[in-house]
Structure 1
Amino acid sequence: MIKLLSEHMADMKMQVDSAEMTDTELLLAVYKEIIEKLSGVKSQRHQLILEGVRRFNEMIERAGGGYTAVEVADLLGISPQAVGKKRKRKQLLAVRRGEHAIYPVWQFNGNEVVTGLKELLEELEGLSTIMKTQFLLGTDSEYQMSRIEYLKSNGLDENLRRKARQLGAQGAR
């Protein structure tokens, strides 16, 4: 058995010196080596995911950060449960942070939700929170500002609604 494992390890280019190991030590060494090789592949994917999450969180922070549900409730003069209902009805955009959600500050204008945001979120239905956020925070070459800034300044017009509808339709495929 030890001879077969040693040959197999050589074929796999495993770095284990089995010459003076007990069977248990050899099995543990092989197990450790396999786990390290597998975790290397997994950790590359994991690192890419973590990098994407980091960049998304940076985008949210650059745009002003987020409120907790309690802070949104205070801001809007409603209960935290009502905030949760607005989130579930897709009237507010929430970003998961661990077990809780934050509500990006850019979706509020003073003590109310930006007028027209609910309708834009309906057009973007089916897209991920990341895609919705990128759409709203992204600079639109036609407007020379982000779409959320345009919405706050000019209100919802058919052109902005059409842009959201087109992206929502692409994402639904």
Structure 2
Amino acid sequence: RQHNLRIKVARIFNTYGPRMHPNDGRVVSNFVVQALKGEAITLYGEGNQTRSFCYVDDLVEAFLRFMATGDEVTGPINLGNPGEFTIRELAEKVVALTGSKSKIEFRPLPQDDPRQRQPNIAKAREILGWEPTIALDYGLKKTIAYFDGLLRAGDGDLARLAAQ
């Protein structure tokens, strides 16, 4: 307002997909890399906490629609997928989709770990006419293929390969 700038404010919830950094600390990239390397999949608590995962292509579509709105639409608007999965379900899907022999390893749940994260996308539906359309399994297959390609392309140094 002070500088009379046009703005749009979006709240992004758990986006994943190809081109993620392998060591970004996010649950999808962690699980996929661990599974592809045959390492234990680390789960905190019993894995009952829920998360929602939005594939990057869906998020880009939401951004394009948001940016095409008039100046009067500033947000904030939540952008994400309201479909919930437990962290354990995600781990099991990743192991199945990679064909990995990785075992799930349980660790203590951090005190500050939220039990649930699920975006309310009512504004995105109403104002942008948008909701995500890409299923988790499809997005995971694309993400797994990306990380598998990185691993096969080099010496296993995913951080170096992802930077190329």
TM-score bracket for this pair, using the shorter chain length: under 0.3
Whose helix proportion is higher, 1 or 2? 1
For normalisation by structure 1, the TM-score amounts to 0.21
For normalisation by structure 2, the TM-score amounts to 0.21
